[in-house]
Structure 1
Amino acid sequence: MKHTIAVLVNDQPGVLQRVSGLFGRRGFNIESITVGQSEEVGLSRMVIVTLGDQSTLEQIEKQLYKLIDVIKVVDLGSRPMVARELALIKVKSEPAERPEIMGVIETFRASVVDIGSTSLLVQAVGDTQKIDAMIELLKPYGIKELSRTGVTAMIRGNG
């Protein structure tokens, strides 16, 4: 079962290494991790997607709280959330194929951010399933390069 957790941490050198090291030492896998500034100066927010059952999630939370720079841990998946990922996809694209490729891109509400003589650079934002589906449809044209951010998420509403 996938779990998405947000971890509020002090913005200090080595914090990302300590958090990821904790996962590795305990045998927990990180499917994706994003880190960036939070709404509070001096604090960063990590959004981590990991796999495991409920007891694994509880163990992860307990272990994270043992790290000195961890301020707060929130299980985002326990409440309705908005989760998004960004992907940049460079697709082989001869001019004759472009209208067909553009049809795929438009279907997913993605956009072309660069055009080369034999390729298109596509930007897609959405949930992981949307990004996965778009990549599958673009594979037959030839994906030259792919970069994904990993999931970032927040709880919906006023909470």
Structure 2
Amino acid sequence: MKHTLSVLVEDEAGVLSRIVGLFARRGFNIESLAVGPAEKQGMSRITMIVAGDNRTIEQLTKQLYKLINILKVQDITDIPSVERELVLIKVNTLPENRSAILEIANVFRAKVVDIANKYLILEVTGDPGKMVAVENLLKQYGIIEIARTGRIALIRTSNVNTELLKSKLNNYSLS
């Protein structure tokens, strides 16, 4: 199972290196990694996606707390949260398929950030499922390059689990 870990750290040199080293020594791959300034000056938030069972993630969390400069570690996998990624996709655009690509961009609320005779670059922001869906639709036109950020996430203060709501709505509409 994939887990989303939110780690609050002091913004000091070497913190990320120590975290990555801890995971590497234990043979764990970090599937997604995003780092940026947090709400207070001198602090950063690291969001990681890591595969493992609950027991393994619990052990990793305990090991993280032993590292210098770690302030808070949360496994937010099962906590209602808002998750976002950003992807830039350069797509081959022949005159006959440009309007179809622009329609896909419109449906996914993507921004055209660069356009040329044979290519365009789209900026897509959203949850990880949206990233996969737009990429799958654009493959048929020829994706030239793709750059994807790591996932970022914050716990929902409202405590509303939108994934649970989506599944209930889908089940309701199928009946």
CA RMSD across the alignment: 1.1
What is the aligned partner in structure 2 of residue 117 from structure 1?
A: 117
What is the aligned partner in structure 1 of residue 131 from structure 2?
A: 131
Q: Write the letter of the residue equivalent to 2:83.
A: A
What TM-score do you get using the length of structure 1 for normalisation?
A: 0.96
Report the Cα distance in structure 2 between the residues aligned to 1:134 and 1:27, rounded to whole angstroms.
32
What is the aligned partner in structure 2 of residue 106 from structure 1?
A: 106
Deviation at 1:158, TM superposition (A): 5.7
Unaligned 5+ runs, structure 2: 160-175
Where do 4+ consecutive residues of structure 1 move more than 3 Å? none
Q: Write the letter of the residue equivalent to 1:20.
A: V
| Worse-matched range after superposition: 71-80 or 36-45 | 71-80
Report the Cα distance in structure 2 between the residues aligned to 1:95 and 1:150, rounded to whole angstroms.
33
Report the Cα distance in structure 2 between the residues aligned to 1:158 and 1:80, rounded to whole angstroms.
8
Give the SS at the match of 1:96: coil
| Worse-matched range after superposition: 11-20 or 147-156 | 11-20
1:152 corresponds to 2:157? no
1:35 corresponds to 2:41? no
Identity %: 51
Report the Cα distance in structure 1 between the residues aligned to 2:144 and 2:129, rounded to whole angstroms.
21
| Cα contact 2:37–2:45 (8 A) shared by 1 | yes
Q: Write the letter of the residue equivalent to 2:19.
A: V
Report matched runs for 1:45-60 at 5 Å.
45-60=45-60
Give the SS at the match of 1:77: coil
Unaligned 5+ runs, structure 1: none
Deviation at 1:76, TM superposition (A): 1.4
| Cα contact 2:33–2:48 (8 A) shared by 1 | yes
Deviation at 1:77, TM superposition (A): 1.6
Q: Write the letter of the residue equivalent to 1:147.
A: A
What is the aligned partner in structure 2 of residue 83 from structure 1?
A: 83
Q: Write the letter of the residue equivalent to 2:121.
A: L
Give the SS at the match of 2:13: coil
